[in-house]
């Protein structure tokens, strides 16, 4: 029973934090962000409680990826207002090549 609990306490948190996330520092008053890019469908993730950004990017394509990020607020009188776009780029590595000539030897 103890071994099962240890496995649960070790493995489950690692699964929760395993994905790469795009994050930013807290921004006062931000309600959501707008992310766009050449290979991205525009998304509008809600800001975290402190106004920061945290979005999972595991669905990014292999190779170079480019995004523009805008911080936005929604005001009852003025509507939506967004910051200037910030460019962000990253590269997702390709998986390793398939092994060849795998065999057992005596």
User: Residue 29: inside a domain, yes or no?
Assistant: yes
Q: Look at the pTM and tell me if it is higher than 0.85.
A: no
Question: Is pLDDT at 24 greater than 80 in this prediction?
Answer: yes
- Domain total of the chain: 1
User: Residue 63: inside a domain, yes or no?
Assistant: yes
Question: In whole angstroms, what is the distance from residue 101 CA to residue 46 CA?
Answer: 49
Q: Mind listing the pLDDT tens digit for each residue in 44-103? A: 999 999 999 999 999 889 999 999 999 999 999 999 999 999 999 999 999 998 888 889
Q: Between 57 and 40, whose confidence is greater?
A: 57
Q: What pLDDT, on a 0 to 100 scale, did the predictor assign at position 4? A: 40
User: Residue 104: inside a domain, yes or no?
Assistant: no
User: Residue 80: inside a domain, yes or no?
Assistant: yes
Q: What is the DSSP string of the chain?
A: -HHHHHHHHHHHHHHHT-S-EEE----TT--EEEEEETTEEEE-PBPPTTS--EEE-TTPPSEEEEEEEEEEEEETTTEEEE---EEEEEEEPPPPPPP-S-----
Q: What pLDDT, on a 0 to 100 scale, did the predictor assign at position 7? A: 42
User: Residue 106: inside a domain, yes or no?
Assistant: no
Q: Which domain holds residue 82?
A: 19-90
Paired tokens of 97:
């090549």
Q: Mind listing the pLDDT tens digit for each residue in 5-14? A: 344 444 444 4
């Amino acid at each position: 029973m103890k071994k099962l609990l240890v496995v649960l306490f070790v493995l489950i948190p690692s699964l929760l934090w395993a994905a790469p996330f795009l994050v930013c520092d807290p921004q006062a008053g931000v309600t959501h962000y707008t992310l766009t890019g050449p290979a991205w469908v525009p998304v509008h993730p809600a800001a975290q409680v402190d106004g920061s950004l945290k979005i999972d990017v595991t669905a990014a394509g292999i190779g170079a990826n480019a995004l523009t990020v805008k911080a936005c607020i929604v005001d009852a009188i003025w509507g939506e207002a967004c910051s200037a776009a910030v460019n962000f780029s990253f590269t997702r590595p390709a998986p390793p090549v398939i092994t060849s000539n795998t065999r057992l030897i005596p």
